[in-house]
Amino acid sequence: MSEEFRVRVEGLQFDAAHFETFGSQTEPLHGHTYHVAAELEGELTPDSLVVDFVLLKTIIRGLCKQLDHRFLLQQDSHQLEIEAVDASWRIGTQSGLTYLFPKQDVAVLPIDNSSAERLSQWIGESLWHALEAKGIRNVHAMTVEVYEGPGQRASHRMEHPRAD
């Protein structure tokens, strides 16, 4: 019988601009100071760790850095018309607004909406891939939370089957 342990990191953040789409509506362009927390569940390594806190925070900080001070572009949106134009991204809304952002200021994400729910999913999947690339295979589940503001957070939980 294997024992499960949990580790949690908090206090990681990034600032970014975005707008969500709701049906045919697009909310106004605005920004947040997002806060990220992650909880990982797994078995202990021979060193009695689920994962090293320093490594975990380093990976999440790197993901946050990719988003920090950027416009979060929901590349898989069903409501937006998105076009790469020279050194810019042109984004058209169903209400007729057009935005033009320099590519260097945009984080292009493979998500359908820039909601906290999808951001928590993207961060979690990216974190999982980064851990696997480091050879970490003892983590069986993780939950990533993204806080948009005080009292507003979304989370995404992922589970991978054990290799028992």
Q: What are phi and psi of 141, to 5 degrees?
A: -155, 150
Q: H or E segment at 145? A: strand 139-149
Helical packing angle, 116-133 and 53-67, nearest 10°? 130
Q: Which domains can be identified in the chain, with CATH numbers? A: 5-159 (3.30.479.10)
pTM of this structure? 0.94
On the question of pLDDT at 42 being above 90, the answer is yes
The confidence score (pLDDT) of residue 34 equals 98
Look-up of token digits 């790197």: 62
Q: What are the pLDDT digits (tens) for 46-95?
A: 999 999 999 999 999 999 999 999 999 999 999 999 999 999 999 999 88
Q: What are the pLDDT digits (tens) for 139-157?
A: 999 999 999 999 999 999 9
| DSSP conformation letters of 60-128 | HHHHHHHHTTEEEEETT-SS-EEEEETTEEEEE-TTS-EEEEEGGGEEEES-SS--HHHHHHHHHHHHH
On the question of pLDDT at 161 being above 90, the answer is no
The confidence score (pLDDT) of residue 5 equals 97
Residue type, 42: G
Q: What are the pLDDT digits (tens) for 107-140?
A: 999 999 999 999 999 999 999 999 999 999 999 9
The confidence score (pLDDT) of residue 1 equals 52
The confidence score (pLDDT) of residue 163 equals 53
Q: What are phi and psi of 121, to 5 degrees?
A: -65, -45
The confidence score (pLDDT) of residue 43 equals 95
Which tokens sit at 24?
């045919």
Q: What are the pLDDT digits (tens) for 1-39?
A: 568 999 999 999 999 999 999 888 899 999 999 999 999
Phi-psi region of 146 (alpha: psi -120 to 50; beta: other; left: phi over 0): beta
The confidence score (pLDDT) of residue 160 equals 85
